Amino acid sequence: MAIDEESGPGVDPKSPGEKAALDVSSNDTPDQLTADPKHNGILARLRNLEARMDAKLGIESEAIVRKRAEDKKDVSWTEELTMALLWASGTMNTSCFATGFLGWGFGLSLKQAILITIFASILGGVVTGYCATFGAATGLRQMSVSRYSFGWWPNKVIAALNCVQQMGWAAVSCITGGLALTAVSDGHVSLVLGIIILAVVALLISFIGLNAILVYERYAWIIFFVIFLIIFGETGKYADNTTPASITGTTLSGVVLSLIAIVYGSSAAWCTTASDYYVHYRADVSRVKVFLMTTFGIAIPTSIGMLAGCVVASALNNQPQWHDTYKNDGLGYLIQDMLYPRGFAKFLLTLLVLSGINTNVISIYSASLSFQQLARPLALIPRFIWTIVSFACILALAVGGREELNTYLQNFLSLLGYWCTSYGIILFEEHYIFRKGKFENYDLEGWNDPARLPLGIGATVAFALGVISWCMGMNQTWFVAPLARIIGDMGGDVANELTFVVTALGYLPARYLELKYFGR
């Protein structure tokens, strides 16, 4: 049965479906575990602690519960700008700067690298921008939204993938930020210690919850925008805009496809978290506004950071000292060498270190929400506990992968794009084809009740076909797929293109048959 997402006053803020789905061994909800004196176990104590911290610090307990109309307040147009500024802070960072060096590393010219970066950033931003439009309209976090396509059980796999994705992305930010911190301290702060410092600061902000994140990210981007403008100003005159690509023919085509996959993956990767940051907006907020502000709030800042990397990387052709520093000492020392005067360079590098925190704040927060949706008992564990778990996993990944940053970037960012492509197209077809583009056709009261959600057969089939497509078209250092192998000497990544087509064609008949034979 479809209902309107704007529940009227008088409706119990926790529906029967929500209460049932929060069950561990009986019908106990988190509120009951906190309030009922018969519950005195560890979970009840943790929930009670969370409730007290929420009252005093606003750490956002009950984070995954659907936000209803009566829970939302009108926001000013300046607060609506956060739809774009949030992502500007999260993407304009040293990770994007480092990604900008990949085009040069592949042998592309500066012009080619710039065009690919802009095009692929917008393309990936479109995927995230579309997924973001579900947050305000439904009041649900992104992993809850996808239950209406993937169903209750298959969506747990998606939530697990999202946990891995967010922690991996945060690990990349920790590594690049840690390299900068090591450089600014002239080696006195080790890379491992730098990684720990970045992760701890992000943990503290994420620990409080959405309100703290939105306030922090609304203004953090300004610092990094100014820094990248300075980088352009001080290094632009050394950019090599005359040297052509060192590769030609099908090898050039393959490299272009691989770089598109990497840049696209960095922007599309946010699609599995986008709705997490829009649930507090009114349901009638313009979806076009949400889409455009999210798309370009990701694409433009991502391009700024990556284009700075493209420019500096090209300058390595005619600045041998920079080239040696980059190869021997890493990105942080390069930034310190290329900016002047040296004291000012150290100051900028110190500020740039903070950019890794912005990404980590978003990733840790969304990972903690995904952990809560892996299983019913896990939903009873307070969000702040999962925030700490995410922090620990990020540290392990970052410390383990700190020595191979470029390889880490190439492999990890490409893999992000693959499954995000499948995710985005499944949500798109479900909404516009099977639900006629209307939120009235979603049983939003049943968001946490397996009996009121699709079985997810159609999405599982389409997603599995997408996985096969990845394996046929990916180009990674550890595996070059059959189709990728035939494109030039270095291979060409066509996994996203294959995934898009195969998932789109596979979901339609699979979902139709699911509706025909199971009725939901």
Residue whose pair of structure tokens reads 């492999």 in the numeric block: 411
pLDDT at 30 (0 to 100): 47
Range of 68-82, 193-207, 297-311 with top mean pLDDT: 297-311
Report the share of the chain in percent with pLDDT over 90.
57
The pLDDT, as a whole number, for residue 411 is 67
Provide mean pLDDT across the span 402-430.
Answer: 80
CB atoms within 10 A of CB 135: 28
Mean pLDDT of 202-211: 82
Among 180, 184, 216, 186, residue whose Cα is nearest residue 201: 216
Q: In the chain, pLDDT over 70 holds for what percent of residues?
A: 89
Instruction: Return the pLDDT at 26.
Output: 35
Question: Looking at residue 342, what is its pLDDT?
Answer: 85
CATH entry, 66-404, from 3.75.10.10, 3.30.700.30, 1.10.4160.10, 3.90.1200.10: 1.10.4160.10
The C-alpha atoms of residue 178 and residue 324 are separated, in whole angstroms, by: 20
Q: In a 3-state reduction of DSSP, which class is residue 480?
A: strand
DSSP, collapsed to helix, strand or coil, labels residue 475 as strand
3-state DSSP call for residue 74? coil
pLDDT band (50, 70, 90) for residue 497: very high
Mean pLDDT of 159-178: 86
> What is the residue extent of each domain of the chain?
66-404
The pLDDT score that the predictor gives to residue 159 is 95
Number of Cβ within 10 Å of residue 78's Cβ equals: 9
Rounded Cα gap, residues 16 and 180, in angstroms: 51
With cut-offs at 50, 70 and 90, classify the pLDDT of residue 438.
Answer: very high
pLDDT at 383: 86
Separation of alpha carbons 511 and 500, rounded Å: 16
DSSP string, 191-206: HHHHHHHHHHHHHHHH
pLDDT at res. 34: 42
| Residue 485: Cβ within 10 Å count | 13
Q: Cα–Cα distances in Å, from 32 out to 14, 51, 57, 374, 380?
A: 12, 12, 22, 21, 11
Instruction: Give the mean pLDDT of 475-482.
Output: 87
**Residue written as tokens 């080790």?**
190
- Whether residue 244 is preceded by a cis peptide bond, meaning omega within 30 degrees of 0, is no
Q: How far apart are the first and last CA of the chain?
A: 10
Q: At what angle do helices 355-372 and 191-208 cross, to 10 degrees?
A: 60
Using alpha carbons, select from 467, 461, 471, 472 the residue that is nearest to residue 505.
461
Number of Cβ within a 10 Å radius of residue 503:
27
CA Rg, the chain, in Å?
23
Q: Which residues contact 237 (CB under 8 A, 6 or more apart)?
A: none
**Mean pLDDT, rounded, for 24-46:** 51
Q: For the residues 375-390, what does the mean pLDDT come to? A: 89
Lowest mean per-residue pLDDT among 180-194, 214-228, 377-391? 180-194
Q: What is the pLDDT of residue 9?
A: 35
Q: What is the pLDDT of residues 321-337, one digit of tens each?
A: 999 999 998 888 898 89
Collapsed DSSP state (helix, strand, coil) of residue 30: helix
Look at residue 200 and tell me whether its pLDDT is greater than 70.
Answer: yes
